């Protein structure tokens, strides 16, 4: 039995580094996008990630084009509560880990299997506690 083409086969998640590199058309991230498209995966990031990525020197047209090719998931109250629980479970707290926790909670709420592209694999692996594949880029 094959899955319906309307049902995604999983989710590719970009953290701030993944999104930044996508905006720069980094070859590695571009390859992941192509694989995601070929495998009918959703490509997402957290709305909180935009706060880390947007700065005065970012190429706004490239950012908007990249964002048009993925889903920016909102940080809802359930996501925020789950992020807080992930922080508590790992003994972390504060603004230093907040965006990673929100991204992790967003990833864990997405259809699996979930793969996260990140520059901080240790932190996201701990927050996701083995429920997502974390790839260092």
Q: What is the pLDDT of residues 11-67, one digit of tens each?
A: 999 999 999 999 999 999 999 999 998 999 999 999 999 999 999 999 999 999 999
CATH of domain 11-136: 3.40.50.1010
Pairs from 96-99 (Cβ < 8 Å, separation ≥ 24): 97/123, 97/127, 98/48, 99/16, 99/46, 99/48, 99/49, 99/51, 99/52
Confidence of residue 90 (pLDDT cuts 50, 70, 90): very high
Q: Determine the average pLDDT of the residues in 66-88.
A: 97
Note the pLDDT tens digit of each residue in 100-116: 999 999 999 999 999 99
Cis, bond preceding 113 (omega within 30 deg of 0): yes
């Amino acid at each position: 039995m094959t899955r319906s083409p309307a049902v995604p086969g999983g989710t590719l998640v970009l953290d701030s580094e993944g999104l930044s590199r996508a905006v720069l058309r980094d070859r590695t991230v571009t390859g992941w996008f192509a694989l995601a498209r070929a495998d009918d995966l959703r490509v997402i990031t957290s709305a909180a990630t935009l706060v880390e990525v947007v700065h005065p020197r970012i190429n706004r047209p490239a950012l908007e084009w990249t964002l048009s090719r993925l889903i920016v998931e909102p940080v809802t109250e359930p996501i925020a509560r789950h992020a807080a629980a992930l922080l508590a479970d790992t003994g972390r707290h504060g603004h230093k880990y907040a965006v990673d926790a929100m991204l992790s909670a967003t990833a864990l709420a997405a259809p699996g299997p979930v793969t996260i592209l990140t520059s901080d694999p240790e932190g996201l692996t701990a927050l996701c506690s083995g429920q997502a594949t974390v790839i260092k880029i």
